[in-house]
């Protein structure tokens, strides 16, 4: 497995790294730039849309991995759905789609993916409380939420791409412990593709993911998690803890903004990570602190969820509570300057 894993991962990294360079040149030539404004966290005009290189790295390499795999549903959910959401993001990067149109397209894709998977969703914990009927709509809404959540959290240099590396890298460790060699390779390909882009995105960023990249990474993580649940490889609590840094910040901020009567779907600078970056006066420091929280707090707790599955809900609550406290202390959803 090591040799094939290394080859596929190297291919994905190379395609992403070179692709990001080419995407940057294209964005500069077409003036596809993120212009700093009152709702921006960056100060300089920066090319966007570099996430197309992540899409390239994953979608070119993935078919090679699936050549000897018989489950076409999982392949098309990852590859076909990934391509579709990337196209939506690419379109959005170029013409700035209205929020209602974006949401409608994402919802249609989520329903289509559920159909491709045959309606199979691995939320077995709902069955234990007699709520298995709620699994399909929860998966659809969860998929749409995770696509947008990753987009919301892509606001400072290196944060979203380093989160993608951590979540998929962390999941690959637990998949390896589960003996799921093939899915370790799939995760490694995605990690390598995101890492190839991260080389260009770390502060000071030379290019941003854009919607094409943030939509794709968020979608890929959500579908990959769903597949691992369907195959009973990882418990849901592992995923909730691994991704907690993002979903806690985004969810807390969203709820506060909705409670205050604000238009939650409009760009703003009131996420906890954005406030932290301003107070630290450094994107790099904020992203490094986020990575430290992931590595030294969330990963060990995710490991506990993996080994002590019956205590998953309690461990997940312990993981989340300090993150909620920090978001509250930073006035997430309120502080916008």
pLDDT in tens, 277-335: 999 999 999 999 999 999 999 999 999 999 999 999 999 999 999 999 999 999 998 86
Tell me the DSSP string of 70-102: --HHHHHHHHHHHHHHHHHHHHHHHH---HHHH
Beta bridge partners, 268, equal none
| pTM for the structure as a whole | 0.92
| Phi/psi of residue 33, nearest 5 degrees | -125, 145
Q: Tell me which H or E stretch contains 309.
A: none
- pLDDT at residue 128, as a whole number: 55
- pLDDT at residue 1, as a whole number: 47
| Phi/psi of residue 34, nearest 5 degrees | -85, 115
Q: Residue 11: exposed, middle, or buried by beta-carbon count in 10 A (0-12, 13-18, 19+)?
A: middle
Contact partners, residue 261, CB within 8 Å, separation at least 6 = none
pLDDT in tens, 51-81: 999 999 999 999 988 886 757 789 999 999 9
Residue 317: how many CB atoms within 10 A of its CB? Answer: 12
Residues of the chain with pLDDT under 70: 1-5, 36-43, 68, 70, 119-134, 264-265, 335-337
């Amino acid at each position: 497995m090591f040799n094939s894993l290394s080859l596929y991962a190297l291919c994905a990294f190379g395609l992403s790294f070179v692709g990001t360079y080419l995407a940057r040149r294209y964005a500069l030539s077409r003036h596809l730039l993120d212009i700093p404004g009152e709702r921006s966290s960056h100060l300089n005009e920066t090319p966007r849309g570099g996430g197309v290189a992540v899409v390239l790295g994953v979608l070119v390499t993935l078919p090679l991995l699936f050549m000897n795999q018989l489950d076409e549903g999982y392949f098309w959910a990852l590859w076909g759905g990934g391509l579709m959401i990337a196209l939506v993001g690419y379109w959005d990067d170029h013409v700035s789609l209205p929020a209602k149109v974006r949401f409608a397209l994402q919802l249609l894709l989520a329903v289509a993916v559920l159909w491709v998977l045959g309606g199979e969703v691995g939320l077995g914990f709902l069955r234990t409380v007699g709520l298995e009927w709620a699994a399909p709509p929860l998966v659809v809404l969860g998929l749409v939420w995770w696509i947008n959540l990753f987009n919301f959290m892509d606001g400072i240099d290196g944060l979203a791409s380093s989160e993608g590396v951590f979540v998929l890298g962390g999941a690959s460790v637990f998949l390896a412990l589960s003996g799921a060699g093939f899915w370790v390779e799939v995760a490694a390909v995605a990690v390598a593709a995101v890492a190839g882009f991260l080389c260009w995105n770390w502060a000071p960023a030379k290019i941003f993911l854009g919607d094409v990249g943030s939509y794709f990474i968020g979608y890929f993580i959500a579908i990959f998690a769903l597949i691992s649940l369907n195959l009973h490889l990882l418990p849901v609590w592992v995923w909730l803890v691994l991704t907690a840094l993002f979903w806690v910040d985004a969810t807390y901020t969203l709820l506060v903004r909705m409670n205050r009567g604000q238009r939650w779907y409009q760009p703003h600078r009131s996420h906890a990570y954005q406030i932290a970056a301003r107070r630290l006066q450094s994107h790099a420091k904020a992203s490094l602190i986020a990575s430290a929280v992931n590595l030294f707090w969330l990963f060990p707790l995710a490991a506990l969820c993996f080994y002590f599955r019956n205590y998953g809900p309690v461990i997940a609550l312990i993981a989340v509570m300090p993150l909620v406290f920090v978001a509250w202390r930073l006035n997430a959803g309120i502080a916008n300057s």
